[in-house]
Every structure is written in C-alpha cells, then in structure tokens.
Amino acid sequence: MMSKLLLSGFEAFLGNAINPTEAIVSTLDGREIGGAGALTVTGTILPVDFQHGFERLLAAYRRVQPDIVLMLGLAAGRPSISVERVAINCDDSAPDNAGRAAHGSLIDPDGADGYFSTLPIERIVRALKDHGYPAVISNSAGTYLCNHVMYAMLNHIRATHAQVRAGFVHVPASHELAVSAASASSSATPMPSWSQRDLNAAIEIALEVLAEELV
C-alpha cells in the first residue's frame, strides 16, 4: 500500500531574497520515492507568519493525511544539512513577514516544554554522509517559524494520538541566495552555501531513508 509524505518548505523571509526550500519542495512534489508504491510526496509552501504558518501546514496535513511529515527550513549561516532533534514551546524572534515579533511566548500554554523529532535522525545523517553530503544532528531549531511549525505539528500529533511521524530538517543557503546576500551588503561575511542541485539531492536521500523506514 502506498504511504504518503507531506513535505513543507517556507517562502522567503527576513530580507533573504529567496528561500531554497521552495525550490526543493517544488522539485520533489509529486515524486514517488523508494520504488513504485513506497512513498508519494505532496509538497506545500508555508508563509513565514506566526499566525498563519502552522494553519497552512495543518490544512495540508488534514487534506493529505500523511504517514510522515518532513518540514524543511533555511538556516542561513549553517554549512551543512542539519537534522533537528527537538522543538521547544517558545516563540522568540525578529518580526515575521507580517511584522509580528515574538518575545519568549509559549506556542501552546498547555503543551510540553519540548518534543523530540519522531524521525530516524541518526539514520538520515548517516545516509547523507554515506552519499557524500555533510550532515549533522542539530539540537536547536531556533525560536522562529521553523521551530514554531515543528513544535506545533508534533504537539498536534501527540494531542490527537495520530500514528504519524514528523520532523524538521534545516538546509544551508543556496549559492544563489549567498550571491544575492553578498551583493546586498558588501561588508557582510559570506554565508556558506550549496548548489540548489545538491540541496535537492540531499533531501531526496532523506526521503529515501524515510521510505525504507516505512517498509
């Protein structure tokens, strides 16, 4: 029987001209991973908005009824793929695209302080490295939109006792983003970056690990 994976990315934010997770999601949307019948991917792009970002993800989740949710986000400045270990019950950040900043508020006043990813994070990291892509486990998804949707998704799955696994992966900047960031500010330290092709390939490897996991 066919399993379903919901793959989310984000629109551009915080003055970054582009968000490479959009291109990853549009490349992988509709793909079948791991041989016929294994895993079909449905992609969705979320607004960088504390109020509506998770709403949009939850709508897709209800429509798709996935077995797995893999959320993607951009971590400009990080040099490798980072597979997040944990989400925390906290918004604390610069303004989102609607202009709303957060100052240490709880995402869900009744939620746990933190939730671990329920994806096989060590296996994903190992598979990426085996295929020649630098990858690490990260112990913080920050306190911006990325952590927000990761926390809210895991919290929702827990609250509804759903048999769904979910987790978050941060990707480095694409070369294209790094070039545009450098043009915008001549004095900025250049940010590490990968080609979009490498970013797409790395996330496809992560999806293959998840497809095997479901067998």
Q: Give CA separation, 194 vs 22, 72, 79, 88, 154, in Å.
A: 15, 15, 8, 28, 29
48 DSSP β-pair partners: none
Percentage helix, strand, coil for the chain under 3-state DSSP, each rounded to 5: 35, 25, 40
Q: Give CA separation, 47 vs 53, 158, 203, 204, in Å.
A: 5, 24, 21, 23
Residues in contact with a second copy, shown as a per-residue x/- string from 75 to 114 under the rule CB under 8 A: --x-xx----xx-xxx-xxx------x--x-------xxx
- Residues 145 and 152: their CA atoms lie apart, in Å, by 10
- Among 84, 90, 156, 208, the active-site one is 84
Q: Is 183 in the site for a second copy (CB under 8 A)?
A: yes
Q: Tell which one of 45, 58, 162, 179 touches a second copy (CB under 8 A).
A: 179
Residues in contact with a second copy, shown as a per-residue x/- string from 131 to 170 under the rule CB under 8 A: -xxx-xx-xx-xx---------------------------
Active site residue 170: yes
Cβ of residue 160: shortest distance to a second copy, in angstroms? Answer: 18
Instruction: Single out the residue of 64, 48, 62 nearest to residue 12, CA to CA.
Output: 48
β-pairing, 91-93 with 32-33?
unpaired
Using the rule CB under 8 A, give the single segment among 20-28, 29-37, 66-74, 129-137 that binds a second copy: 129-137
Q: Which residues bind a second copy (CB under 8 A)?
A: 14, 77, 79-80, 85-86, 88-90, 92-94, 101, 104, 112-116, 122, 129, 132-134, 136-137, 139-140, 142-143, 175-176, 178-179, 182-183, 186-187, 189-195, 197-198
